[in-house]
Amino acid sequence: MNFNIGPANDRVKAQWRVVIQFARRYLGTNVFDELKMHILKSAMLYFALVFGAGFVLGTIRVLLVVPRIGTRTAELIETPVMIVVSFFAARWVVRRLAIRTTAGERIAMGLVALGLLLSAEFALVLWLRGMTITEYLAGRDPVSGTAYLIALGMFAIMPIFVARR
């Protein structure tokens, strides 16, 4: 598969190079690299906590709950639980790693964690279920799928809404 989207992709890469050069010139290389590592560490921890909880809850949902009440209802029950898990995980990571109160750093943490979460989920779908991403998305229930997309959006922005002590 070729994911290159042509000249538009080249323009985006060039724009990011300019932004990075500007930031390095005025912030210094060490400050910029430390900020990137801080965001990456916090995003990885946030992702790991929520993904781990989701993996455990998903296993329980599939093996115990779905046979009794059906897929849609089981997913709709699990969604608010995962939103609460996201809240507590984001709050713990923000407090534990002393994430600044700036919206930029926190949204970066959430978006990087979202990218990790989607990558892991699609990798597991491809590997465990033997499905393509298109088959996976087409097979989602419209109601619980919508709730899932809302939960993903909340997962990405949750670090903004948690308070640091």
Cα–Cα distance measured from residue 58 to residue 47, given in angstroms and rounded to the nearest whole number:
15
Range in 38-42, 85-89, 110-114 the model is least confident about: 38-42
Task: Summarize the confidence of residues 68-85 as an average pLDDT.
Answer: 96
Question: Is residue 3 exposed (0-12), middle (13-18) or buried (19+ Cβ within 10 Å)?
Answer: exposed
Residue 165 pLDDT level (bands cut at 50, 70, 90): low
- pLDDT tens digits, 106-118: 899 999 999 999 9
Residues present in the chain in total: 165
Mean pLDDT, the chain, integer: 84
- Top pLDDT among 161 and 3 is at 161
Cα–Cα distance measured from residue 155 to residue 8, given in angstroms and rounded to the nearest whole number:
29
Cα–Cα distance measured from residue 141 to residue 75, given in angstroms and rounded to the nearest whole number:
9
DSSP 128: I
Name the pTM for this structure.
0.76
From its phi and psi, is residue 70 left (phi > 0), alpha (psi between -120 and 50) or beta? Answer: left
Q: Does the structure show a pLDDT above 90 at 36?
A: no
Q: Does the structure show a pLDDT above 50 at 5?
A: no
What is the signed CA dihedral for 148, 151, 157, 158, rounded to 10 degrees? Answer: -150
Q: Does the structure show a pLDDT above 50 at 45?
A: yes
> Are 156 and 111 a contacting pair, CB within 8 Å?
yes
Residue 54 pLDDT level (bands cut at 50, 70, 90): very high
Radius of gyration of the chain (CA): 18
Cα–Cα distance measured from residue 142 to residue 87, given in angstroms and rounded to the nearest whole number:
25
> Are 109 and 99 a contacting pair, CB within 8 Å?
yes
DSSP 125: I
Q: Does the structure show a pLDDT above 50 at 152?
A: yes
Q: Does the structure show a pLDDT above 90 at 151?
A: yes
